[in-house]
Amino acid sequence: MKKINKNEIATFGENTRLVIGGREPDDYHGFVNPPVYHGSTVLAPTTRDLLDHTQRYAYGRRGTPTTDALEQALRAIDGSAGVVLCPSGLAAVSTALLSCLSAGDHLLMVDSAYGPTRHFCDGQLARFGIETTYYDPLIGEGIEALLRPNTKAVYLETPGSQSFEMQDVPLIAGIAHRHGATVLLDNTWATPLFFDAFGHGVDLMIQAGTKYIVGHSDAMFGAVSANRKAWPALKGFYGDAGLCAGPDDVYLAMRGLRTLGVRLRQHQESALRVAKWLAKRPEVLRVLHPALDGDPGHAIWKRDFKGSSGLFSIVLQPAPEAAVEAFLDGLKFFGLGYSWGGFESLAIPFDCSHYRTATTWNPGGPGVRLHIGLEDVEDLIADLDAGLARFRAARG
Ligand SMILES: *Cc1c(COP(=O)(O)O)cnc(C)c1O
């Protein structure tokens, strides 16, 4: 295999970049994958080398060949100036926020954000003297009126990972930048393959790698990628906070990343088939999936996104909780569990009404979020069909 020049990688297609990014077989006796370096101490050959830091690696927390390989592989697909690897998606969220906010600053946070992200803002950021205001995900140019002289960051997540509202990222980013604020985006749902965050004005992109990057429900991982402007502060905070991701999880994330393209395209295709089937069912009031024609976020999705993943929600006809439980409890292929992005299908009931503060959540019936895994769609549809029959029977 001929050695590929680093600058040339950007000219290849995304699947090629997923496969070759960060790989240096010549450094590892020809083995396709880098070894998992478990290490804290790095030994120097002489006192001079130790004191003058002449070696590429100095200490485990500061990086290893394994972490370098994953950082380069992630950069090969997201086009960022730099990436930091975090022990979880939530650690990536907190790292990104703390890298660009200081005491006395104001943060604009989308009302549809991942629940623990809100909890971090309301508890920890407040403790550090950083004030958070929540805004409607559909605010559009209305964001301008919420910006204050001390608003240093605007945080987006699109679509919302339960309610699936689509945000106008370039519009909000443009306004935020005119006021000097940093733009952060949680891009876990689309990944860089389906949404080019930096091309749409984002400064700091967060991914809960636990979901689609790892892809096999076997590791916790997160990443923050930065453009040139946001990179120095991100790198500085990450180093000072002593953050690093465990070597085995870094390896599992890299292994998952190689197949992200094929997995995501299959999640997309299967989820669309299931979503379209559900949309025709009388038990289902609404399907919340931005890639469906009639969805309120469809126009923005079509304009800005290159694909959709395996996660979407449905709103059932009004029914007692017991009917929703009858639907969920008998499912054969849909596990009942949090998280998503693995090879397997999942289902959870959800209700955004207890935590929303800038908007009200009143969709007209109980919500169920589905993750469509890599099983055969016919089997998944048969499973849901039987579940909806149980729902009907329990609803009376
Ligand atoms: C799961 C999730 C996170 C947090 O990731 P963890 O790895 O579970 O900490 C952050 N954002 C979104 C949108 C998520 O779905």
In a domain, 73, yes or no: yes
In a domain, 307, yes or no: yes
The per-residue pLDDT for range 136-145, each reduced to its tens digit, is 999 999 999 9
Q: What is the pLDDT of residue 91?
A: 98
Q: What is the largest CA-CA distance in the chain?
A: 80
Same domain, 212 and 358: no
The per-residue pLDDT for range 308-347, each reduced to its tens digit, is 999 999 999 999 999 999 999 999 999 999 999 999 999 9
The residue from 243, 258, 273 where one domain ends is 258
Same domain, 337 and 306: yes
Same domain, 224 and 278: no
Position 30, amino acid: G
d(CA 154, CA 146): 10
Residue 41 sits in a domain whose CATH number is 3.40.640.10
Q: Any bridge partners for residue 225, and if so which?
A: 83, 205
Does ligand 1 come within 6 angstroms of the Cβ of 160?
no
Cis peptide before 318 (omega within 30 of 0): no
Predicted confidence band of residue 7 (pLDDT cuts 50, 70, 90): confident
> Atom 6 in ligand 1: which residue has the minimum CA distance?
89
Same domain, 287 and 353: yes
Does ligand 1 come within 6 angstroms of the Cβ of 163?
no
Same domain, 284 and 206: no
Does ligand 1 come within 6 angstroms of the Cβ of 112?
no
> Atom 8 in ligand 1: which residue has the minimum CA distance?
89
The residue from 258, 277, 302 where one domain ends is 258
CB distance 369 to 311 below 8 Å: yes
In a domain, 230, yes or no: yes
Q: Any bridge partners for residue 110, and if so which?
A: 135
The per-residue pLDDT for range 17-57, each reduced to its tens digit, is 999 999 999 999 999 999 999 999 999 999 999 999 999 99
In a domain, 201, yes or no: yes
CB distance 224 to 208 below 8 Å: no
The secondary structure of residue 251, as a DSSP letter, is: H
> Which of 121, 163, 187, 211 is the best mutation target for the ligand 1 pocket, counting ligand atoms within 8 Å of the beta carbon and taking the most?
211
% of the chain exceeding 90 in pLDDT = 97
d(CA 324, CA 356): 22
23 CA distance to ligand 1 centroid (A)?
Answer: 27
275 CA distance to ligand 1 centroid (A)?
Answer: 23
Across all residues in the chain, what is the average pLDDT? Answer: 97
Which atom of ligand 1 is found nearest the CA of 222? 7
Does ligand 1 come within 6 angstroms of the Cβ of 90?
yes
Label the pairing between strands 311-316 and 335-336: unpaired
Does ligand 1 come within 6 angstroms of the Cβ of 359?
no
Predicted confidence band of residue 156 (pLDDT cuts 50, 70, 90): very high
Given a cut of 80, is residue 6 above it in pLDDT?
no
Same domain, 244 and 369: no
Does ligand 1 come within 6 angstroms of the Cβ of 196?
no
In a domain, 128, yes or no: yes
CB atoms within 10 A of CB 125: 20
Q: Given its phi and psi angles, is residue 160 left (phi above 0), alpha (psi -120 to 50 degrees) or beta?
A: beta
In a domain, 1, yes or no: no
Does ligand 1 come within 6 angstroms of the Cβ of 222?
yes
- Provide the number of structural domains found in the chain: 2
Range of the domain at 101: 6-258
Does ligand 1 come within 6 angstroms of the Cβ of 99?
no
Model confidence, pTM: 0.97
> Which of 85, 97, 109, 161 is the best mutation target for the ligand 1 pocket, counting ligand atoms within 8 Å of the beta carbon and taking the most?
161
Same domain, 102 and 221: yes
Q: Which residues are catalytic?
A: 61, 114, 186, 211
Given a cut of 90, is residue 379 above it in pLDDT?
yes
The per-residue pLDDT for range 79-119, each reduced to its tens digit, is 999 999 999 999 999 999 999 999 999 999 999 999 999 99
DSSP, residue by residue, 208-222: -TTTTTT-SSS---E
Same domain, 22 and 139: yes
Same domain, 102 and 230: yes
Q: What is the pLDDT of residue 384?
A: 98
Same domain, 159 and 193: yes
Does ligand 1 come within 6 angstroms of the Cβ of 208?
yes
Given a cut of 80, is residue 365 above it in pLDDT?
yes
Measured N-to-C along each axis, helices 247-258 and 260-279 cross at an angle, to the nearest 10 degrees, of 70
Same domain, 231 and 279: no
Q: Which residue has the tokens 């950083």?
A: 130
The residue from 205, 229, 258 where one domain ends is 258
In a domain, 349, yes or no: yes
Write the CA distances from 222 to 41, 138, 167, 260, integer angstroms.
Answer: 24, 27, 22, 15
Same domain, 289 and 387: yes
Residue 300 sits in a domain whose CATH number is 3.90.1150.10
Which ranges in the chain belong to alpha helices (H)? 14-20, 47-52, 65-78, 89-100, 115-120, 126-127, 169-178, 191-194, 231-241, 247-258, 260-279, 298-304, 321-329, 377-395
Given a cut of 90, is residue 4 above it in pLDDT?
no
> Which of 85, 210, 213, 309 is the best mutation target for the ligand 1 pocket, counting ligand atoms within 8 Å of the beta carbon and taking the most?
210
In a domain, 337, yes or no: yes
248 CA distance to ligand 1 centroid (A)?
Answer: 19
